[in-house]
Amino acid sequence: MNAADEFVRAQFARAKQLLKEGKIYDAYFEFGVGLHALQEATSPAHSGFQHWGDNVSATRVVGHVRQEMFYPGSNSNLQRVTNMFLAWFQKSNSPLPKTNLFKAIGHD
Per residue in 28-78, pLDDT (tens digit) is 999 999 999 999 999 887 766 666 677 888 887 787 778 778 888 999 999
**Residue 23 belongs to domain spanning:** 2-91
Is residue 102 in some structural domain? no
Is residue 38 in some structural domain? yes
Is residue 99 in some structural domain? no
Is residue 101 in some structural domain? no
CA-to-CA dists, residue 78 to 40, 41, 44, 46, 86, angstroms: 8, 8, 11, 12, 12
pLDDT of residue 51: 67
Q: Are 81 and 43 in contact (CB under 8 A)?
A: no
Give the whole-angstrom CA distance, residue 70 versus residue 81. 17
- Give how many domains the chain has, as a whole number: 1
Is residue 62 in some structural domain? yes
Give the whole-angstrom CA distance, residue 22 versus residue 12. 15
Give residues with Cβ within 8 angstroms of 11, minimum separation 6: 30, 31, 33, 34, 37
pTM reported for the whole predicted model: 0.84
